[in-house]
């Protein structure tokens, strides 16, 4: 006989149902087209349940984005996650860059559609412009930590005089959702092809 579902588990499942409903509607209809009422209806909860749980629509979108990037609702920071720790611990510079590209691919396969919702709305919605800026700053912070680790692994330094900051800028661009979207979504590249290209581009641009 199955154990009864606890109240905490019911709450967790309801929250996840609301996040899944919101993610689907934001991607389908965009920021303005996805109403809290529609999200509540798809999640089969009351509108007040959505507001009570998340506070407002922007906070809901932020949690949808955070969950898509992380792949779960665990609040652990990106740099504390196993894939990022593996990047930092990789002994060989080329292996590190390959792992960075692989990690970025997994994140973008989950999060790119939601990131595009935020980016598209940022031009006309000040509160989402702030969310987009924060997202970019967080992505660059992660790439800067990776770049500092990369510099430490290269005895002769990086190619063409790159330092950690400019290496992070380059990785931020190559592994960003904008570049991924152009090649995968617009031009139809497979995720495998994009990952191989991204790793090769980073190795060619950064390593002697």
Q: Which pLDDT tens digit goes with each residue over 1-48?
A: 556 778 889 999 999 999 999 999 999 999 999 999 999 999 999 999
User: Across 8-97, where does the E strand assignment appear?
Assistant: none
**CA of 199: how far to CAs of 63, 92, 112, 174, 177, in Å?**
29, 14, 18, 9, 15
- Angle among Cα 70, 52, 48 to the nearest 5 degrees reads 120
Q: Is the pLDDT of residue 194 over 60?
A: yes
Task: Report the C-alpha gap between 102 and 108 in whole angstroms.
Answer: 10
95-116 tens-digit pLDDT: 999 999 999 999 999 999 999 9
**Stretch 161-172: mean pLDDT:** 97
Closest CA to 143 of 119, 107, 112, 117: 107
What is the distance, to the nearest Å, from the Cα of residue 13 to the centroid of all Cα atoms in its chain? Answer: 22
Q: What's the pLDDT score for residue 3?
A: 61
Q: What's the pLDDT score for residue 73?
A: 82
Regarding pTM above 0.75, the answer is yes
């Amino acid at each position: 006989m199955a154990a009864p579902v606890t109240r905490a588990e019911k709450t967790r499942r309801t929250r996840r149902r609301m996040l899944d409903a919101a993610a689907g509607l934001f991607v389908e209809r965009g920021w303005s087209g996805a109403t809290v009422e529609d999200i509540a209806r798809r999640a089969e909860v009351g509108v007040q349940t959505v507001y009570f749980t998340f506070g407002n629509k922007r906070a809901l979108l932020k949690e949808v984005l955070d969950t898509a990037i992380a792949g779960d609702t665990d609040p652990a920071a990106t740099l504390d996650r196993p894939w990022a720790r593996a990047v930092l611990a990789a002994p060989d510079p080329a292996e590190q860059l390959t792992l960075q590209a692989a990690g970025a691919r997994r994140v973008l396969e989950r999060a790119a559609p939601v990131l595009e919702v935020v980016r598209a709305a940022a031009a006309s919605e000040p509160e989402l412009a702030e969310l987009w800026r924060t997202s970019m700053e967080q992505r660059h912070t992660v790439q800067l930590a990776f770049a500092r680790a990369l510099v430490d692994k290269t005895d002769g330094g990086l190619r063409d005089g790159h330092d950690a900051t400019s290496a992070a800028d380059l990785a931020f661009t190559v592994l960003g959702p904008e570049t991924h979207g152009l090649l995968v979504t617009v031009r139809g590249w497979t995720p495998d092809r994009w990952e191989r290209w991204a790793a090769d581009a980073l190795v060619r641009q950064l390593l002697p």
